[in-house]
Homo-oligomer: A and B are copies of this chain.
């Protein structure tokens, strides 16, 4: 007991934690997320801002509610996020002819330009990850595994 290989940090016995998928999954996610945060920071965007711009660009006229559904952000927490994007002139909230309760979201020209820059930043981030994984991992398989785990 306690005679297991001491991996992890220095002399500390990690008690098998460093061999458990959940723990490693968290470390991997934090590493990737932090790198993405750093890649987008020069543009003044967080990952959530970037993903909102992406989804709005792909679905012009989309309602806030649906953006939230797509990204897993509650509509109540999306308000402030979009307020900022609107105030920065990247996104417009337009009246929907048939429904005066909802907004039709769209990117401004500035929003399109910002998204183009963000895509480049994101591509750099992805390239780093790809080169790390290289041919050691089949990306399609990895995606399938992650999707499977998501259904837990």
Contacts and interface: CB of A to CB of B under 8 A. Distances in A.
Of the four ranges (under 10, 10 to 19, 20 to 34, 35 or more), the interface on chain A belongs to 35 or more
Nearest to A143: B24
Please give the count of copies of this chain that the complex contains: 2
A62 B12 contact: yes
Given A29-B25, A66-B9, A69-B10, A137 B145 contact: yes
Given A28-B149, A133-B149, A22 B12 contact: no
Interface string A57-75: 1110010001101111000
Interface of A: 2, 8-17, 19-33, 35-36, 51, 54-55, 57-59, 62, 66-67, 69-72, 125-126, 128-129, 132-133, 136-137, 139, 142-143, 145-152
